[in-house]
Amino acid sequence: MPEPVTPVTFPPAFLWGAATSAYQIEGAVREDGRTPSIWDTFSHTPGKTAGGETGDIAVEHYHRYRDDVALMAELGLTAYRFSISWSRVQPTGRGPAVQRGLDFYRNLVDELLAHGIKPAVTLYHWDLPQELEDAGGWPERDTALRFAEYAQIVGDALGDRVEQWITLNEPWCSAFLGYGSGVHAPGRTDPAASLRAAHHLNLAHGLGTSALRATMPARNSVAVSLNSSVVRPLSQNPADLAAARRIDDLANGVFHGPMLHGAYPETLLAATSSVTDWSYVLDGDLAAINQPLDALGLNYYTPTLVSAAAASADGPRADGHGASSFSPWPGADDVAFHQTPGERTEMGWTIDPTGLHDLIMRYSGEAPGLPLYVTENGAAYDDKPDPDGRVHDPERIAYLHGHLSAVRRAITDGADVRGYYLWSLMDNFEWAYGYGKRFGAVYVDYATQARTPKSSALWYRQAARTGTLPPVTAAE
Ligand code: IFM
């Protein structure tokens, strides 16, 4: 007789969400007053994205949002996380807002609410208005002040109907892939600028949080979504442990230090002293960044395995963050990155749900009492429709089952996890990888824009409807 399997059941109020971001899905990049963001410029620069692909059309969500929301409702989602395109609502990154831009998001939110789906708004998912980059971008302090103004505009427009707010998505990518390794927009490769950018993103988060609070009802929740890394040493020898500590500071402490504890880790300041003097951290900045939060968002895909290595002129590689001869890890050229053993997704990222459990437990301890959300988790696979038109993705079902089970274990172990947002609702523009990597629970035929729920979407629907994970074979 096979062992009976204990059902994996979630608390009744647990949110079953999916996530997207503006540039990855909206298209309509020149409509209704929107101006270019750094991702428009970058994707139109030859050689920056696979096949020269851009978000010009993406999955036309700007025009199809009503159908997309109806599909979300059919799929049983109780929450939807999306981001606002800054240059759609404030084209120059400063000054007055464009009402047509805000109206798009008002209509989207109203549509979600009419379908009983809780909206969660991310203010910044990597698409800085190009005008602000031309003025210096995130390495410049003024960008943080501009972000606070933008937060106030959006908070004012949507604060009456959106309860869940996220200031920044994955500021690590904005700072270190955007200004360090250059594999993301704006494509700069300057280690000192990447640390300056990190500080000003932190400041933007703090000032933006205060701006939201000043304009919105007190019941609303403000959070940030960090792609905090689960950094593991290759061995327990002191050099490898020190390498892991260094990467942990650069991946995690650089953001959660000031945001949650009001200080940069001393070890980070020491390890980066040859790159920057941190003189741009002005009096009062740390207090401005260290705003009490209502929740913390965690994005998780795969762990990071490191060891000490001889310093290399080419910098560290194999860190899973795209091909560049420039490092996204300032001051850490003597750290080597290794592939964690195990099965991988189409991104080459090792599948390891224990990392998600570890991450949640870490932040449960790091920020006691703060509700946690998994604001992104998911996998890319080379999905293709069968001759019958259906898209079977058993690997994604197994991935989701494994990671949601890890979330449930963390709840059992005492973590206050309130919801999970699958990345992503539908296939979309995967940044420098273009459209080649499909993360969606819904398949998109890019030629016709037809949407087809994959078997993972049907599996997830059953989980959302019952609050219990179906067996991995359920939707096949
Ligand atoms: O597609 C991205 C998303 O925009 C941010 N987090 C990681 C996802 C997969 O790479």
- 225: β partners: 169, 297
Model pTM score: 0.97
Beta strands 118-124 and 164-169, pairing class: parallel
Q: Within 13 Å and on the Cβ side, how many CA atoms surround 452?
A: 19
Which candidate, 278, 282, 276, 327, places its Cα nearest to that of 306?
327
Counting every residue written for the chain, the total comes to 476
State pLDDT tens for residues 201-223.
999 999 999 999 999 999 999 99
- Nearest protein CA to atom 2 of ligand 1, as residue: 430
**pLDDT score of 283:** 98
Cite the DSSP H helix spans in 125-168.
Answer: 130-134, 141-158
19-53 pLDDT, tens digit each: 999 999 999 999 999 999 999 999 999 999 999 99
Residues of the chain below pLDDT 70? 1-4, 311-318, 474-476
Ligand 1 site, CB within 6 A: 21, 24, 170, 299, 376, 423, 430, 439
Which atom of ligand 1 is found nearest the CA of 439? 9
- 231 with 244: CB under 8 angstroms? yes
Enter the DSSP assignment of 476: -
What is the Cα–Cα distance from 120 to 131, expressed in whole angstroms? 27
262-295 tens-digit pLDDT: 999 999 999 999 999 999 999 999 999 999 999 9
Which superfamily does CATH assign the domain made up of 15-466 to?
Glycosidases (3.20.20.80)
pLDDT of residue 315: 45
The amino acid at 227: N
φ/ψ of residue 379, rounded to 5: -145, 145
Residue with CA closest to ligand 1 atom 1: 430
- State the pLDDT at residue 322: 73
212 three-class SS: helix
How high is the pLDDT of residue 475?
A: 53
